[in-house]
Each structure stands twice: as C-alpha cells, then as structure tokens.
Structure 1
Amino acid sequence: MIYLLLSISISTGLFVIFKYFGIYKIDVLKAIVVNYIIAFSFGFLSYENAISITEILHQPWIYGAFFLGALFVAIFFVMAMTAQKNGVSVASIAGKMSVVIPVFFGVFLYGESVTFLKIVGITIALLAVYLASLKEGKSNAQKAGLLFPVLLFFGSGAIDTTLKYVEVNYVPENEVALFSGSVFAIAAVFGLIILGVKSIKKTTPFGAKNIVAGVVLGIPNYYSIVFLIKALQNKNFESSVLFTVNNVGIVILSTLVGLILFKEQFSLKNKIGVFLAIIGIVLVTIA
C-alpha cells in the first residue's frame, strides 16, 4: 500500500512541475531529455549487480523497453502541453482516466473480473474526460487544445497497459531498477535524436534553467515508475483495481492542487467532469 501512496503523491507532483515549466518559460523538450538522463542514471545506480550494455540488449524485456522509451518522450511532451494549455487538473484527468484502457486489457489478457458496475464506471470515465477538458468561451481555433487531452488519454493508457504486460511476463522483482533505468535511457536517446534534428534547422543555447528543470523533473519521474511497478508486483490486487485506485488518487489530489495552488477556474461542465471522474473510478474499484 505504501508504494501505491507514494506513486499517487509523486505522479501528482509531475503535473505541478509541468505547470511551472509554462510559468518559467522552460523549453519542454530540452528539460525532458535532461530528465531522462537523470532518471536512467538513478536506475543504473540503484541496480546492485554489474551489467554490460550487451547483456541489457539481450534481456527478454528489451523490446518492451524500446517501445516504452519512445512513448515516454512523446507522452511527456503531450502531458506538459496539456498542463500548460488546459491546466493541471485537466492534464491529470485526461492522463489518469486512461485507466479504462489497462482495465480493458486486464480483463482480456489476464482474465480479471468484469461486472456491470465496471462497464458503467468505464463509460462514465470516458464522458468525464470530455467534460473536464472543455473550456468555456473559446473560439473554434482555441478548442483545438482538446487534441492534447485526447492524445494524453490514449498515450497514458498505452503506457500503463504495456508496463503491466512487460512487468507480468518479463521483469523479475530484482530487475525493476535495471528495467526502469533502461526505459529511461532509451527515452533519453530518442529525445537527443529529436533535439539533434531540431538543432540542424535552428541552433539555440541549451540554457541552464532547462538543465535545472530537467533535474527537478527527473528524480520524481524515476521514482513514479519504480513505485508503480513495485505496487503492480503486489499479487493481492488485480491490476484493474490498482490502476483505478492509483489514478483516482492522482485525479483528486491534482484537482485540489490546481484549485489551491494555481487558482484554476472551473466551469459547470468541468465540475461535472471531475465529479463523474471520481464516480466512474470508484465504481470500477467497487466492481
């Protein structure tokens, strides 16, 4: 249970950090690359045994690590854009209500329970994402901002589903740090490639503040994944229940943070969306 609580707290912190990126005009891509360099360093330093790159490339989980590494870069960028354009609470809801995706795969891949309440909860969750993401008084051009919450929804769901699949089938308990570090290392490589391509078109100084922002992001990012994997290794919880409890905790906590810390404004539709998000996720948990 302690790993689950830590995962909720640290994951909420990531949304807050992304919000500050917008306030302090941080170059998101550069900070994300630094973040992954820090995160994979923590992973390899935390692994107790010596291992070579060749051995890592022959691990059974390496293909899953490559897929997750690419997804991490893309979805972290989308998460940052969502937090800045739509707000911390919307970013949290869009990302964490994606729990419906791993729940769906949990039923079909692992034979986890499916009930009427779970189906109702999933349906309500989907409606909640839309309502919570709407902004009043926006032009049609500005409403294009809904693209980021939608991408975040499906991308986060793909990450959770893949993480669970690889953890169940390929990652031994004593290799969590090594696996996490490898995923972050691959994400860093993808990020550096993107930065390299961008620098060909236009060279700009890296910027000390982007490095500092990456370090601040990298440490909690590493532990958010480690604690989630460790929570998933608890055989007393179905993954559908664990993901649901984890995500509703993040939705509630980040909503409170958005209201208190950033004074985010909520329309009636947004409030209904948040309310439905909590109801939907609770129904899935009860089911």
Structure 2
Amino acid sequence: MVYLLLSVLSSTLIFVAFKLFDVFKIQTLYAIITNYVVACAVGFFLYDGPVSVSDLAHKPWLIGPILLGVLFIVIFNLMARTAQVSGVSVASVATKMSLAIPVIMGVLLYGERLSAIQIIGIVLALVAVYLASIKEKSIKIARKALMLPLLVFLGSGVIDTSIQYFEEVHLTDEEIPVFSSMVFGFAALTGFIFIGVKAVKTPLKVNLKNILGGIALGVPNYFSIYFLLRALREGILSSAAIFTLNNVAIVMVSTLVGILLFKEKLSLKNWSGVLLAVLSIILVALF
C-alpha cells in the first residue's frame, strides 16, 4: 500500500506542477518534452545494473516502451485538443474514466475476481471521478467533436492496460526502473520529432522557464509510473483494485490540493464526487 500512496502523491505533484505552469507562463508542450528527458534520466540513474544498448535491444518487452512513448505524446495532444474544442471538464472526465478499461481487462485477461462490494465500489468510483472532475455547470459535446474525448478515453485506457500487461508478463523487479525510464525516453524522442516538424514553420526558442518547468514535472512524473508498477508488483490487491484506488485517490487528493493551495471553489457536484471517492476507496480496499 505504501507504493500506491507514493504513486498518488507523485501524480498529485504533477497536478501542482501543471497549475504552476499557468502562474509562471510556462509553455506546456516544451516543458512536457523536457520532463520526459528528465524522467528518462532519473530512471537510468536509479537503475543498479549495467546499461547496454545491445542488451536492452533484445529485451522481450522493448516494444512496450516504444509504443507507450508514442502514446504518451499522442494522448497528450489529443487531451489538449479536446480541452480546446469541448472544454477542460470533458478532457478530464475522458482521461479519468478510462480506469474502467484496465479494470475490465484485469478480470478478462488475468482471471481476477472482484467481490460484489468491490464492483459497487468501482461503479461508485466512476461516478465520483465524473462528479469531481466537472468544473462547468454542464458537459455538452457536439457530435462532430465526440471522436476526440472517445480517443482520449481509449488511449488513456490502453496506456494503463499496457503497463499492467508488461508488469504482469515480462518485467522483473530489477527491470522496473529501466522500463519506466525507456517509456519516457521514447516519449521524449517522439516529442522531439513532433516539435522538429513544427519547427519547419515556427523556429524554436530555448526558454529557461520551460526547461525548469520540465525538470519540476519530470521527477514526479517518473515516480508516478515507477511506484504504480511497484504497487502492481506487490500483489496485495488485484490490478483492478490498484487502478481504481490510484485514479480515484488522485482525483480526490488533487481536488483537495486545488482548494488548499490554489483557492479553487467546488460545486455541490464536486463535493459529492469527493465523498463518493472516499466511499469507493473504502469499498474497494477493505472488501
């Protein structure tokens, strides 16, 4: 449970970093790419074993970091586009509700069993995520724009399910740091290709604030994945319970941090979501 708590804390620090980007006028895309470079470096620094390109190239899980790295950048841009077209709440709900996908996959692929009370807790968790994420009076999505949140939902779910698969089938305890590091490394590489294409039309400008923002984001970003993998490895709870607790706790803690640090105001629906999140955590974790 300690690793799960640390994963939630790391993910909450990511939320704080993004909030501070607005305060200090940091360009998110460039900070994101810098953050992936930093996260990659942190992983290799923590890895005890020798790092050999030829050895890593022959790892059975190599395709994992490559695909996840590309997905990280693609989903980030889809989230940004969704927020612009349909609103921040739509993007947030689509991302967080994706926890349903790894939960279902855990049951179907790995034969995990959930008690009736845990199933109720997971359903409540989905409702809690929806209510806590709404920052507008209502969510409306134009039919033409429906594809964007759907892709964000599916993409986020595929990322979590892929992490679950590689932890379950391929990774040893010793390989977790270098696997996490390579995910961020390929995300950085994909990001550099992306901004390289953009640079054809718009020249790049190196900004110290963007680099510092990327460093502040990169460290907790690495540990959010690292501790999540460790939590899955512990085997105390099923992966369905782990993903539910992780996502719901992040929503709940981030919401409370928003109130305390950034003076955010919550609607009655938001508070209902927080209370439901607490209830769902109790049901999933204790039963």
Q: Which amino acid aligns with 1:161?
A: T
Residue 145 of structure 1: how far off its partner (Å): 11
Q: Does 1:199 align with 2:229?
A: no
Residue correspondence of structure 1 range 1-287 to structure 2 within 5 A: 1-76=1-76, 95-136=95-136, 153-287=153-287
* Aligned equivalents of 1:141, 1:90: Cα separation in 2: 8
Residue 141 of structure 1: how far off its partner (Å): 8.9
TM-score of the two chains, using structure 2 as the length reference: 0.85
Residue 109 of structure 1: how far off its partner (Å): 1.0
- CA gap of 1:147–1:13, structure 2 versus 1, over 3 A, is farther
Structure 1: segments with no counterpart, 5+ residues: none
* 8 Å CA contact 1:125, 1:276 repeated in 2: yes
* Aligned equivalents of 1:272, 1:55: Cα separation in 2: 51
% identical equivalent positions: 49
* 8 Å CA contact 1:92, 1:251 repeated in 2: no
* Aligned equivalents of 1:80, 1:19: Cα separation in 2: 15
Residue 154 of structure 1: how far off its partner (Å): 4.2
Residue 58 of structure 1: how far off its partner (Å): 1.8
- CA gap of 1:248–1:115, structure 2 versus 1, over 3 A, is same
Does the residue aligned with 2:200 lie in a helix, a strand or coil? helix
* 8 Å CA contact 1:89, 1:251 repeated in 2: no
Q: Which moved more, 1:236-245 or 1:176-185?
A: 236-245
* Aligned equivalents of 1:23, 1:138: Cα separation in 2: 27
- CA gap of 1:77–1:162, structure 2 versus 1, over 3 A, is same
Q: Name the count of aligned residue pairs.
A: 286
Deviations 1:96-116 (A, max 9, x none): 453322111111111111333
* Aligned equivalents of 1:272, 1:258: Cα separation in 2: 16
* 8 Å CA contact 1:94, 1:149 repeated in 2: yes
- CA gap of 1:82–1:102, structure 2 versus 1, over 3 A, is same
Residue 48 of structure 1: how far off its partner (Å): 2.2
* Aligned equivalents of 2:253, 2:89: Cα separation in 1: 9
* 8 Å CA contact 1:89, 1:255 repeated in 2: no
Q: Which amino acid aligns with 1:2?
A: V
What is the alpha-carbon root mean square deviation over aligned residues? 3.3
* Aligned equivalents of 1:108, 1:139: Cα separation in 2: 31
Structure 2: segments with no counterpart, 5+ residues: none
Deviations 1:221-275 (A, max 9, x none): 1122111111211123211222223333322211110111111122222323333
* Aligned equivalents of 1:150, 1:138: Cα separation in 2: 18
Q: Which amino acid aligns with 1:121?
A: G
* 8 Å CA contact 1:92, 1:254 repeated in 2: no
TM-score of the two chains, using structure 1 as the length reference: 0.85
